Amino acid sequence: MGGLSIGRVALVNDPAAIRRVLMDNTQNYHKDWLQRRVLSAGLSNGLLTADGHQWRMQRRALAPLFARRTVISFTAAMIDVAAAMVERLKSRDGQIEDMAVEVTRVTLEVLEKTMFADGLGRSAEEIRVAMKHYFEAIGRLDPFDVLGLSSVVPRLSRWKVRPMLRLFETAIDTIVSTRRRRIAEDPAGVPRDILTLLLEARDPETGEGLIEVEVRANILTFIAAGHETTANSITWSLFLLSQSPEWCSRVQAEADRELDGDIGGLADRLVETRAVIEESNRLYPPIAAISRAALGPDELAGEPIRRGTMVVIAPYVLHRHHSLWADPDRFDPRRFLGDAREAIDRFAYLPFGVGPRICIGASLALQEASIVVAAVLRHFALELAPGHVVSPIHRATLRPSGGLPMIVRRR
């Protein structure tokens, strides 16, 4: 199980070797060029693709944006967005709906509300359309499809991403400058959303703030890194629940009991729902593969690694490995409850990565997914559309090929 090395690609499944790549010897493993190139349109200078000093400074400065207290302050926005989806679905009682589409709308709306609490301004619809096209084009790229191609950027421009990106960037610049003006005029009156926090962010070590291109790149980064991943996590959870009457009832009971209580502690009370989401992230990790380029030679799980090797850590493979998990293909959220959760090897379960570059939005994503899944289950019984076969496809993220058509019936 140590690893498989084909030419210059090494797939690593050994937890100790994973620890070495992502935590103990990170100076030898950089986010690889492929990943950077795929993501680079508009995202360079953002936290996901930055490196070295720029990354360290940003990571320290941006930590408070995703801290527990901040994420809890987003609960009300998440509940509102979920409630609006429930209302839409109620009006289509008994019909077949593509839940993947519904849920993607939800995650974008949550980002919109948590990032720009006072809205997108006059050009809201135009921005949404530009964003949709931009992410659709990016979503068509699979890093593994383009192995060996000299450049992805021309393909991006062929798909008319660039004009969309420009429109999107201009709109964001307007929103940012409007907000800067408001902060200057009335600091106490501006919403405490991600945008304000981003503009106020300072590296605690140097006092340095983000420059304009970094602000814009991070707005794009949060949307790019946060919306489709979280949507897939929710979509897969709904699929798995539709196959498990036991867990449907458990989540329904928890939703009935907890959703109307105090919203401050809501995320902490959705214990079983969260276990379902964590189990779903195990079976269908939205980021199915994490990759790094080796800057120099190394040894991983007894195998020599040459300079330039692309090291791939694939949560999809790791999370279903027979030597690491009992009955790995079985959906069993009990793995993530109580002591069982504590017993999971930190380097065998990586839906959000591990080490210094671990996902900064993990608790936001888990909280959002728990709230949305609980809200859906509270009101609806889920049934996969008759005859539809669900199978995963890897296109930047791991999603169900052909979406998730479901008959959604009011409980």
Binding piece for ligand HEM, criterion CB under 6 A, among 244-252, 266-274, 332-340, 355-363:
355-363
Per-residue x/- mask for ligand HEM, residues 284 to 313, rule CB under 6 A? --xx--x-----------------------
Contact 200, 179 (CB under 8 A): no
Question: Please, what is the minimum distance in Å from the beta carbon of residue 321 to ligand HEM?
Answer: 17
Pick the binder of ligand HEM from 39, 137, 190, 225 (CB under 6 A). 225
State the residue number with the nearest CB to ligand HEM: 361
Report helix, strand or coil for 209. strand
Residue 48 lies near ligand HEM (rule: CB under 6 A): yes
- DSSP H helices in 9-123: 15-19, 33-43, 52-62, 68-73, 75-90, 99-115
Residue number, 315 or 403, with CB nearest to ligand HEM: 315
Q: What is the largest CA-CA distance in the chain?
A: 61
Interaction between residue 384 and ligand HEM (CB under 6 A): no
Write down the least CB distance from residue 364 to ligand HEM, Å: 5
**The pair of three-digit structure tokens given for residue 66, joined into one six-digit string:** 């995703």
Task: Write down the least CB distance from residue 362 to ligand HEM, Å.
Answer: 6
Binding mask 229-268 for ligand HEM (x = CB under 6 A): xx--x-----------------------------------
Concatenating the DSSP letter of every residue in 306-331 gives: -TTPEEEE-HHHHTT-TTTSSSTTS-
Residue 217 burial (C-beta neighbours within 10 Å; 0-12, 13-18, 19+) = buried
Question: In angstroms, rounded to a whole number, what is the distance separating the alpha carbons of residues 54 and 242?
Answer: 44
Query: Residues 52 to 91: which contact ligand HEM by CB under 6 A?
Result: 59
Task: Please calculate the CA angle 70-73-74 and round it to the nearest 5 degrees.
Answer: 100
Instruction: Give the C-alpha separation, 332 to 275, whole Å.
Output: 9
Q: Is 12 in the site for ligand HEM (CB under 6 A)?
A: no
Distance CA 135, CA 368 (A): 20
Taking alpha carbons only, the member of 205, 179, 166 closest to residue 117 is 179
Residue 23 CA, distance from chain mean position? 21
Number of residues that bind ligand HEM (CB under 6 A): 23
Residues of this chain, 106-145, that bind ligand HEM according to CB under 6 A? none
Which one of 207-215, 236-244, 324-332, 347-355 is the stretch in contact with ligand HEM (CB under 6 A)?
Answer: 347-355
Least distance from ligand HEM to the Cβ atom of residue 49, Å: 8
- For ligand HEM, the binding residue among 42, 143, 333, 361 (CB under 6 A) is 361
Q: Two tokens at 140?
A: 């068509």
Please state the closest distance from residue 304 (CB atom) to ligand HEM, in A. 23
Residue-level length of the chain: 411
Chain residues binding ligand HEM by CB under 6 A are: 31, 47-48, 59, 221-222, 225-226, 229-230, 233, 286-287, 290, 351-353, 357, 359-361, 364-365
